Structure 1
Amino acid sequence: MNIRKLFTIIALILSAQPVLAQETIDKIIAIVGDNIILQSELYQYSYSLAVQLGIDPQEQPEKLEKMRQETLNNLITQKVLLEKAKLDSIVVTDEQVDVVLEEQIARMTEQMGSEEKVKEYFGMSLRQIRREFRKDVKERLLVENLQNKKAQEIQISRREVEKFYRTYRDSLPEMQESINISHILLKVEPSEPAVEAAREKIEAIKKRIEKGEDFAELARQYSEDPGSAAKGGDLGTMQRGDLVREFEEVAFLLEPGEVSDVVRTRFGLHIIKLENKVGEKINPRHILIRLDTSEEDAQRTVQKLRMIKNMIRNGEMTFSEAAEKYSQDEQTASNGGDLGWFQIDQFQIKSFKDAVAGLKEGEISDPVKTKFGYHIIKVNARKSARALDIEDDWKQIENWALNMKRQQELQEWVDRLKKDVYIEIKI
């Protein structure tokens, strides 16, 4: 199997959504080193993968069965790579897991239309969803980090690139129309009066707690967290990584019975009370007052972007200088908002593609809305579709040649790893 397809399927396996299957007696169907693969695990992942790949499990049972066999092979590969990752002391931080979890939840929210629909689909709260997926996400990142570490060890010479070009020249695609862009991102933030009103409300609640009123009862009355308010703000037993960073940093420093100062997260303002602590597990309660944004907040953000665009057009600053000063994209602000080159037909954000469609080099778009906030986009350069040239397109050809070499050598590496791990298939 092509190694790129192999790792794509592994990524799909690890991000597949659990589904309710017909109830069966579970059993071990494979042993891989110190790990086992359960029949329920195979059925869950293969069913979910089939749905993701457009296969109807009810109408196409033979394709589902083929998918199960392919899924089993790839689950075995995944377990082998996890064993290797542990042996090589590959590290994944809680922060890295948090980022991927939030991206995954944001993607599902966008696909389903709202967080409420996501919770309804899974039959659990977002906190429970994070906990349910956390182990799988961490395993996926361990495998990816191991794969990337191995891939970086594989390099390619100029002679190999030239040979690749001579061999595949007639079958290589032409260079598609591409575009180089920069952007400035502004997130929609609640207004200062709204923040101040929320802070006054939660500070008043905190004073009542300090005077001896029951935390749980106040949570039932005032908390705006629909998942915990009815339970007196009880979040259940938590461990590190289950909560957003700002909340977690405070909660784990509290002693049982202690109440925190006001804590701000992306969800709003919280007061936290620690009920119990056993080792690295805690049982917190909280009261949440949300910091919701309004259409007025969105329009204020749009107006600010238009003002920034006008300053650039009037020559008061360059786009790069404006990005460094105003953009809230931490990854690109420091380099002037540069997003690099994209092939037009491979834009992942449709609103970006639509916004730049009619722009010439040097022109700046009107504000564009995405799930991240609002952007203005500058077209730095365009390239028309054309045939490949080894000198002009050396970097692209080198990347293709290197990727092919890495795919081949990674597949051989995986095959060798499998020979060194005890594998027993029981079906």
Structure 2
Amino acid sequence: MRLKMTNMKFINSRNFLMLLLAICSISEIQAQEIIQDSVKKQEAPKSSYKRQKIDGVIATVGDYIVLDSDIDKNFLELAANGNSIENITRCQMLGKLLEERLYAHQALQDSIIVKDSEINSMMEEKIGIMLEQTRGTMDDLVKYYKKNSEEEFRTYFFEILKMNKLTSEMTNKIIDKVEITPEEVRTFFKGIKKEELPTFGDELEISQIVIRPQVTEAEKQKVKDKLNEFKRDIAAGSSFYSKAVLYSQDPGSKSNGGFMKVNRKTPLVKEFKDVAFSLDEGQISEPFETEFGF
């Protein structure tokens, strides 16, 4: 069996890394020269106003740009997802962003097509997930991404998703063309120092016999009767929230009073979505059964 490894004919990894280091070094040197030259020509006037850092373009790859704020946003996203950013420098993050844009740029050069309709569908799904996870509003998203309007945010988000899709398509195209033999894998593995090899915990291979108990019709009826009793109590003025907190066995919604925010793409069983989307606002359904219970 042959294994596949990412490679790129038009990029040498070592040269690319050296290029990134050179970019960071040159940028710093040029900045120092510009500052020194400006000081010689004219002394900056004193002002009581605080200096404000202006977001600007720090790199370009074809039609793609990297803003200074893009680096900050990537650090924030990594931290928000629980990843450590302690040992990641801004230059390394810039290298990652440049690499992504390089793949996307090459995808355009190779005439890889990504349909706008596909990106729009992906964008709506991701926006829905973000709003559900944060329980926020579209205005909250617009403010978080520092945009002036929903339209500006959607345009920005569309371009980001399209670039990511092009990057993914280009990466897959490269991988499909590159092959490596088992002998090359063994040679590479033997070249790794012992202290650099990853450590794995114990692994077991087991066999088991599982028998799921059958719930009798009598037990099912007891559950239905209890749920109907809850429904009558709520109709008489009891709190749905309190009933859910006290009696629900669903770990995902119990603590929130049974509240769930769903749309037709939310991954829930068909029986649940069919009933949920058939109800009027404020209406309580009859007890119904799914594979997870009533």
TM-score (norm 2): 0.45
Higher strand share: 1
* Rg comparison, structure with higher value: 2
RCO higher in structure (CA 8 A, sep ≥6): 1
